[in-house]
Amino acid sequence: MSVNPGFGGQKFIPNTFDKIKALKDMIESLNPNCLIEVDGGVSDKNIMELKKCGVDIVVAGSYIFSGNYKEKISSLK
């Protein structure tokens, strides 16, 4: 989770990037086939940094459904 648990639409917690990097290092040494998924606060503003940190899968529900979903999905590619 990259937000505080409880409800949708919250803002992304920035120190999540550091946690992902540490997790990626741990995974590489223990099980390189393991995937990292991030859920919470994912948007066009942070998706590229998440990818750089090693995230494989994102959940961006609130972002996608907060407007024209086709445009929102395109902005994440």
Confirm whether 7 is domain-assigned.
no
Confirm whether 3 is domain-assigned.
no
pLDDT of residue 13: 87
Instruction: Give the residue numbers spanning the domain of 71.
Output: 16-76
Confirm whether 67 is domain-assigned.
yes
Confirm whether 1 is domain-assigned.
no
Confirm whether 35 is domain-assigned.
yes
Q: DSSP class of residue 22? A: H
Confirm whether 2 is domain-assigned.
no
Indicate the number of domains in the chain: 1
pTM: 0.85
Confirm whether 31 is domain-assigned.
yes
| pLDDT tens-digit readout, 18-34 | 999 999 999 999 999 99
Confirm whether 42 is domain-assigned.
yes
| pLDDT tens-digit readout, 45-68 | 999 999 999 999 999 999 999 999
CB burial class (10 A; 0-12, 13-18, 19+) of residue 24? middle
Contacts 24+ apart (CB under 8 A), 55-63: 55/20, 61/8, 62/8, 62/9
